Chains A and B, each alone.
Chain A
Amino acid sequence: MTTITPQNPNPNLSPPAEIQISPINWVMKNLLTPWYNALITFIIVGIFCYAGYGFCVWAFTEAQWTVIPANLHLFGAGRYPSEEYWRLWVLLSIIVIFSGISWGIVARNVTHLFSRNVLIGLAIAALISFILPIPLLYKLAIIGLLILLSLAAWGGQKIGAKMPGLGQYIAINWFLVYLIGLWLIGGGLGLEEVTTSKWGGLMLTVLMATISIALCFPIGVIFALGRQSNLPVVKLFSVLYIEIIRGIPLIAILFMGQVMIPLFLPEGMRPDRVLRAIIGLTLFSSAYLAENIRGGLQAIPRGQTEAAKALGLNPPLTVSFIVMPQAIKAVIPAIVGQFISLFQDTTLLSIVGVEEFLGISRSVLANPNFLGRSSEVLLFNALGFWVFCYAMSTGSKYIEKRLNVEH
């Protein structure tokens, strides 16, 4: 590519200098003139200051944050037996190491893996862990995990640079990590067995959400294709499934799973309650996902399938190589939105007695020692959910950016 430098006919004519506006000028110009803008500004700023002041007064004087550090193990893992906690720490370390390696491999061509933003993020995480009133052991563990993450990322980048083909094994490795995780949590095969009724807290939330997300995606794809199918029976079945599920509130599906299935099935045949919850969430989300993906399918121009046909690609190949990748790419924001709602919808399980992150908080609040501390606990819940949902949304933005190469 050659770049063309346009000849400036008048060398003295330089582009107009960017006008520097001082912050005060900007405020004067945009917020305070004319007079009614100033009025609106003052009212809104006043409301925010009042609310912020009230919150700060409450947070620093009235609130008793001890409820959080005192129950951190409950929030994290529910009623998981404390003598088996080491398994969860091992799992967490494995996840952190694999995250680091994956990050390093994906970013193998980036010159500065630890850019300013990444370093700031790591520093903030370390700082927060020191400020929070949590036991010293937890603080050290968090710092240790952060160091582990950085080391793994550094190593991953080194390995990834040497073996560029490694990227395609990341997904399958995560699947293995998942199986190891389930084994570490649930036990068996040489480890003490821990029944699902003792699983809880953030661990259970993440577990249920990730399994449901992983399962509802392929099911959604299948129903989206089914609804577009030329085969009348397949089409009818897909439409029925999607429309019936979308017509039922999630809470009703979860109640059916937790309350009604035990009525129909004898004691020995009942699926596990966590499994029932996952099935309910998966069935529900897959119907919505199917509609999202169908939207993407409709956005694919007919020429794409015609070109594939003309090249001799059969329908399964056409769908998997040409249509689906483009359809999914077109609706990534909607799909991730669905995943985020799914993650938050796990909280409904607290109503049917599954002690996930929100449900365990209700148990904590039922403890007479922490009576009336609901504001603190719920705020902590909100923060926890926000961190995960924001991470998903950031991830989706990153994926979109990477896939947007062709424009």
Chain B
Amino acid sequence: MAGQSLTKDIQDTNNVTDREEMIVARDVHKWYASNEFHVLRGVSLTVTKGEVVVVMGPSGSGKSTFIRTFNALEEYQKGQISVDGIELSHDLKNIDAIRKEVGMVFQQFNLFPHLTVLQNVTLAPIWVRRRKKAEAEAIAMQLLEKVGILEQAKKFPGQLSGGQQQRVAIARALAMQPKIMLFDEPTSALDPEMVKEVLDTMRSLAREGMTMVCVTHEVGFAENVADRVVLMADGLLVEEAKPDAFFNNPQHDRTKQFLSQIL
């Protein structure tokens, strides 16, 4: 399989890169304020530079909530998270600094429907990174070419297919030149024939050495691209292993049960 050699490539590049810690989460707890539901019950995870971590788990396990704490879209009540060496606290300055370095791709794309594709991609670089418009547009066009939708730059998101929209969303996040990319079920809202084009984009991103945390149910992607796969269930991190070990030799019953349901 072509994916097999790809995995090797990534592992090779990872051996070269230093093991700088990009995300460190320690004993993160979160309760939903409304009903005191304990959604994260002490989750710890370390992601090093250039690493691709896939988070799997049944729905309601808290996996989306967990990665959304990394860029402060969700608050947490107990524990510690630091991203790119910056401690995530209630300090708004820290939150802004972290969000600049962390790109996020959502399940529902969340493109801005009233702006063209190009405007979607250039808005944040111009207003947050303070880039000149021409410069931001040049970068945006490069990124759009990379994700294969250069010719759609002047269109509005509503005129694109789901797969194209998600690729625009990836380009939009990349335009901020983030150090980390978070993917929150990026292919779950797509028609089956469009999943591949988005996964291919993510795959090439991983090949370039981007640090990525992906919540996804795509087993093929996890097997071929991930450096590590973790399983979350009931607000806990149950299993953490290399993809090979995770899928072929799971240690925990919860993982076995989960895999038996999805494979």
What residues make up the interface of A, taking CB atoms closer than 8 Å to B? 301, 303-304, 306-314, 317, 321-322, 325-326, 329, 403, 405-407
Query: Top 3 nearest A-B pairs by Cβ distance?
Result: A307-B110, A406-B156, A311-B124
Question: Are B124 and A312 in contact, CB atoms less than 8 angstroms apart?
Answer: yes
Other-chain residue from B114, B124, B159, B173 in contact with A326 (beta carbon distance below 8 A): B114
Question: Are A312 and B106 in contact, CB atoms less than 8 angstroms apart?
Answer: no
State the Cβ distance, B59 to closest chain A Cβ, in Å.
18
Q: Does B127 contact A (CB under 8 A)?
A: yes
Measured CA separation A407–B158 after assembly (Å) = 6
Other-chain residue from A301, A304, A312 in contact with B96 (beta carbon distance below 8 A): A312
Measured CA separation A322–B114 after assembly (Å) = 8
B111 partner residues in chain A, CB cutoff 8 A: 307
Choose the segment among B31-39, B97-105, B228-236, B240-248 that binds chain A (4+ C-beta atoms closer than 8 Å): B97-105
Residue ID in chain A nearest B127 by CB atoms: A317
Measured CA separation A309–B124 after assembly (Å) = 10
B71 partner residues in chain A, CB cutoff 8 A: 309-310
Residue ID in chain B nearest A322 by CB atoms: B112
B108 partner residues in chain A, CB cutoff 8 A: 301, 303
Residue ID in chain A nearest B158 by CB atoms: A406
Question: Are B106 and A303 in contact, CB atoms less than 8 angstroms apart?
Answer: yes
Question: Are B106 and A321 in contact, CB atoms less than 8 angstroms apart?
Answer: no
Q: Does B50 contact A (CB under 8 A)?
A: no
Measured CA separation A322–B127 after assembly (Å) = 13
Measured CA separation A261–B54 after assembly (Å) = 69
Residue ID in chain B nearest A314 by CB atoms: B96
Measured CA separation A321–B100 after assembly (Å) = 18
Residue ID in chain A nearest B128 by CB atoms: A312
Q: Does B60 contact A (CB under 8 A)?
A: no
Other-chain residue from A301, A312, A405 in contact with B100 (beta carbon distance below 8 A): A312
Question: Are A307 and B106 in contact, CB atoms less than 8 angstroms apart?
Answer: yes
State the Cβ distance, A293 to closest chain B Cβ, in Å.
16
Question: Are B173 and A309 in contact, CB atoms less than 8 angstroms apart?
Answer: no
Question: Are A326 and B127 in contact, CB atoms less than 8 angstroms apart?
Answer: no
Given A311-B172, A326-B113, A406-B113, also A321-B127 (CB < 8 A)? yes
Measured CA separation A149–B99 after assembly (Å) = 52
Q: Does B186 contact A (CB under 8 A)?
A: no
A303 partner residues in chain B, CB cutoff 8 A: 106, 108, 110
A308 partner residues in chain B, CB cutoff 8 A: 112
B173 partner residues in chain A, CB cutoff 8 A: 310-311
Q: Does B123 contact A (CB under 8 A)?
A: yes
Question: Are B127 and A406 in contact, CB atoms less than 8 angstroms apart?
Answer: no
Measured CA separation A326–B111 after assembly (Å) = 12
A-B contact count (CB 8 A): 68
Q: Does B62 contact A (CB under 8 A)?
A: no
Other-chain residue from B102, B123, B127, B159 in contact with A310 (beta carbon distance below 8 A): B102
Question: Are A309 and B127 in contact, CB atoms less than 8 angstroms apart?
Answer: no
Q: Using a CB-CB cutoff of 8 Å, which residues 127-183 of chain B contact chain A?
A: 127-128, 156-159, 169, 172-173, 176
Measured CA separation A325–B156 after assembly (Å) = 15
Question: Are A313 and B114 in contact, CB atoms less than 8 angstroms apart?
Answer: no
Question: Are B106 and A306 in contact, CB atoms less than 8 angstroms apart?
Answer: yes
Residue ID in chain A nearest B157 by CB atoms: A406
Q: Does B86 contact A (CB under 8 A)?
A: no
Measured CA separation A199–B72 after assembly (Å) = 58
Measured CA separation A310–B100 after assembly (Å) = 8
Additional pairs, 8, CB under 8 Å, beyond known A306-B106, A310-B71, A311-B173:
A303-B108, A304-B110, A307-B106, A311-B103, A312-B124, A312-B176, A406-B114, A407-B158
A407 partner residues in chain B, CB cutoff 8 A: 158
Question: Are B99 and A312 in contact, CB atoms less than 8 angstroms apart?
Answer: yes
State the Cβ distance, B88 to closest chain A Cβ, in Å.
14
Other-chain residue from B156, B157, B176 in contact with A311 (beta carbon distance below 8 A): B176
Residue ID in chain B nearest A307 by CB atoms: B110
State the Cβ distance, B87 to closest chain A Cβ, in Å.
18
Question: Are B110 and A309 in contact, CB atoms less than 8 angstroms apart?
Answer: no
**Among the interface residues B96, B103, B127, B156, which one has the most CB atoms of the partner chain A within 10 A?**
B127
B102 partner residues in chain A, CB cutoff 8 A: 310
Residue ID in chain B nearest A310 by CB atoms: B104
B106 partner residues in chain A, CB cutoff 8 A: 303, 306-307, 310
State the Cβ distance, A64 to closest chain B Cβ, in Å.
54
Measured CA separation A304–B157 after assembly (Å) = 13
State the Cβ distance, A317 to closest chain B Cβ, in Å.
5
Measured CA separation A176–B172 after assembly (Å) = 38
Pick 30 A–B contacts, CB within 8 A, sort by A: A301-B110, A303-B106, A303-B110, A304-B110, A306-B73, A306-B106, A307-B104, A307-B106, A307-B112, A309-B72, A309-B73, A310-B73, A310-B99, A310-B102, A310-B103, A311-B99, A311-B103, A311-B123, A311-B176, A312-B96, A312-B128, A313-B123, A317-B127, A321-B127, A325-B114, A326-B112, A329-B114, A406-B114, A406-B159, A407-B158
State the Cβ distance, A142 to closest chain B Cβ, in Å.
40
B100 partner residues in chain A, CB cutoff 8 A: 312
State the Cβ distance, B199 to closest chain A Cβ, in Å.
21
B113 partner residues in chain A, CB cutoff 8 A: 326, 406
State the Cβ distance, A156 to closest chain B Cβ, in Å.
25
A325 partner residues in chain B, CB cutoff 8 A: 114
A403 partner residues in chain B, CB cutoff 8 A: 114
Measured CA separation A405–B110 after assembly (Å) = 18
A304 partner residues in chain B, CB cutoff 8 A: 110, 112
Produce 1/0 per residue, B63-105, CB < 8 A to A. Answer: 0000000011100000000000000000000001001101110
Other-chain residue from B127, B156, B158, B169 in contact with A313 (beta carbon distance below 8 A): B127
